[in-house]
Chains A and B, each alone.
Chain A
């Protein structure tokens, strides 16, 4: 980010969530959590690139104590740069509104105030004042049009330096485009699980018949140690003709993420950077990791590799192979 971008951000409504301009005050506005979290990641990454000593504070605008903003924004002993992330502006308290209005007139040096507002008119005075100041505003709106979703998929792949053919993009959007975070998860699964150009065949294999929703439900239940739910969801899926191959792929992806974060200290953003995951994936994997021991994870990985080989032709009964893996995982998770 150049110094010019810091002082002269793009006008309201125009900024791109993948490339958030840095400024003393930045507003993320709209109901799409996924975009807000990715934009937040981008701001954190950029500020850390400037100075790894960045100090991050989170505030909740709904349960806010008067004077808090001024306190956290005041310079620290070593004057490290600060990022103050404020959530829940859509239900901000009057105290927060007053403090924020005062603060933005005279923002503290070396502080970035990131405001997350899920939409609506709460705090209209603040929103208007931000507009008048020309603070960057990122619209966090759900993608309504398919071509926005397709653009999203293409960009995800090109950022990962991977290629996907145009038909495959369309097929992926048709299969899982209803939710942006599911679409993003599908992109990262395809990027992690496949090599070379991603084709329509691969997309069909993984996401035809909306396999992914079931696959991730099975995986979620198994990793949380909920064997009965994992098993019944799995049986239902297999009974309705879901291909066991992507099921194993979805399980492997979740176990992989839990294994990556297991026992590793550091902030979500730090881990995300080190492990090639996004912060929301880190947070979710860390929640699952609480159910797991290192030997348990090793067993889970081995049993999945075994199941993968079985469903790809080593076994006469692939269904049993997957069921066995799910059972082993769900049992290991309880320990």
Chain B
């Protein structure tokens, strides 16, 4: 089982990373970009594992079975540092700590690997601290930065990195990954991959959590319920509630997993009270989780709006297809919300593509506003909902 196996549909990126891992002097700074869900952090970890792999033969690097590969993928290799704080921004203290760490020589591997999971969330002054380390790296250190697109990181950083771009994998590849890696039933995997629009993490969540599936269904069904001003305002409220519920449910799951893994790595006793230094670490983790919770409602809302948008995208696809005179092939068209095909066809027949485009604009403008300005989410959603009437 090589470390590259889960990067299906990313052949050219995998080929380049593989070649670099087998080289004796790989480029020392990398920028991995790609849309959310394309598997940037999976790719970064696989690359890191291949760099530190214990196999002596170059062609076998990234074997996926040696201890170094294993610990890297599990996030416990001492020579691989992964920072993805998921807080609003990476703080300057954290980036200083990273820089210090980057100057340590690797303890047992050929390389020390520093991964920054969300380089796009770094503030400018934080980036400047990292810049020095990336400009003049210690001889045995390799940096891997991840961000949605090259434009998301400062040009000064970008110009010092070799950039590789992951694409959103095809639906079939995402489904196959869910089947192989997570043991999901093929049919469910396909529906989830489609509904997630190829976002790997979301596809996995939809496939494994019935609550998340229900909430997504409720979101996508909203346009069918919009009849008048009262239902529009009520729909806005339920959209917000659904996003809040999804945020807290996905946080709870992750918070619990993180706490268990922290306690394990601290070697905490199974029962009884924790000694004070451990308690302080747990508190620090909980603080981080709280900060993350704030951001995640906005993120979930954005995701919910993407789901809502997918309804109108499907409608538009059907409308344009009908206009092209190919309506006989309706059944062959691939829809994100395939289970809703009948309702979507009905909806498409009752409106015009021009209207659908205007509605999609309304959704996109509220997405922009929610992520860039600190607007009241409910009011913004209400304005969107009445525009969809």
- B383 and A304: CB pair below 8 A? yes
Chain A, residues 276-307, CB within 8 Å of chain B (1/0): the string is 10000000000000000010011001101110
- A243 CB to nearest B CB, Å: 14
**Which of A4-12, A167-175, A215-223, A255-263 has 4 or more CB atoms under 8 Å from chain B?**
A255-263
Chain A contacts for B373, CB-based, 8 A = 309, 312-314
A275 interface contact, C-beta 8 A: yes
Between B237, B373, B376, B377, the greatest number of chain A beta carbons within 10 A of the residue's beta carbon is seen for: B376
Q: Which of B293, B378, B386 contacts A298 (CB 8 A)?
A: B386
- B229 and A259: CB pair below 8 A? yes
Q: Which of A193, A196, A305 contacts B382 (CB 8 A)?
A: A305
Q: Which of A276, A294, A298, A308 contacts B379 (CB 8 A)?
A: A308
- B233 and A260: CB pair below 8 A? yes
CA distance A264 to B231 in the complex (A): 10
Chain A contacts for B389, CB-based, 8 A = 298
- B230 and A260: CB pair below 8 A? yes
- A188 CB to nearest B CB, Å: 13
B387 interface contact, C-beta 8 A: yes
CA distance A130 to B114 in the complex (A): 79
Q: Which of A263, A294, A301, A305 contacts B375 (CB 8 A)?
A: A305
Chain B contacts for A297, CB-based, 8 A = 229, 386
B380 interface contact, C-beta 8 A: yes
A192 interface contact, C-beta 8 A: yes
A263 touching B229 in the complex, CB below 8 Å, given contacts A195-B297, A252-B379, A313-B373 = yes
- A256 and B229: CB pair below 8 A? no
Chain B contacts for A261, CB-based, 8 A = 230
Q: Which residue of B lies closest to A302 (CB)?
A: B383
CA distance A297 to B379 in the complex (A): 13
A301 touching B297 in the complex, CB below 8 Å, given contacts A260-B233, A312-B374 = no
Number of interface residues of B (CB under 8 A): 25
- B294 and A312: CB pair below 8 A? no
Contacts of A231-277 to chain B: CB distance below 8 A: 248-249, 252, 256, 259-264, 275-276
* CB < 8 Å A-B pair total: 77
Chain B contacts for A256, CB-based, 8 A = 233, 378-379, 382
- B376 and A193: CB pair below 8 A? yes
Contacts of B118-168 to chain A: CB distance below 8 A: none
CA distance A312 to B370 in the complex (A): 12
Contacts of A180-227 to chain B: CB distance below 8 A: 192-193, 195-196
Chain A contacts for B105, CB-based, 8 A = none
CA distance A110 to B287 in the complex (A): 55
Chain B, residues 346-389, CB within 8 Å of chain A (1/0): the string is 00000000000000000000000100011111111011001101
Q: Which residue of A lies closest to B381 (CB)?
A: A305
Q: Which of A196, A263, A309 contacts B369 (CB 8 A)?
A: A309
- B387 and A302: CB pair below 8 A? yes
Chain A, residues 304-325, CB within 8 Å of chain B (1/0): the string is 1110110011100000000000
Sampled A-B contacts (20; CB under 8 Å):
A248-B379, A252-B376, A252-B382, A259-B232, A259-B233, A260-B233, A262-B228, A262-B230, A263-B228, A263-B229, A263-B230, A297-B386, A298-B232, A301-B379, A301-B382, A301-B386, A305-B383, A308-B379, A309-B373, A309-B380
Q: A193-B378, A297-B386 are in contact. List 15 more A-B contacts (CB 8 A).
A: A248-B379, A256-B233, A256-B378, A256-B382, A259-B229, A259-B382, A263-B230, A297-B229, A298-B229, A298-B389, A301-B386, A302-B387, A305-B379, A308-B379, A309-B373
Q: Interface on A for B, CB 8 Å cutoff?
A: 192-193, 195-196, 248-249, 252, 256, 259-264, 275-276, 294, 297-298, 301-302, 304-306, 308-309, 312-314
Q: Interface on B for A, CB 8 Å cutoff?
A: 228-230, 232-234, 237, 244, 293-294, 297, 369, 373-380, 382-383, 386-387, 389
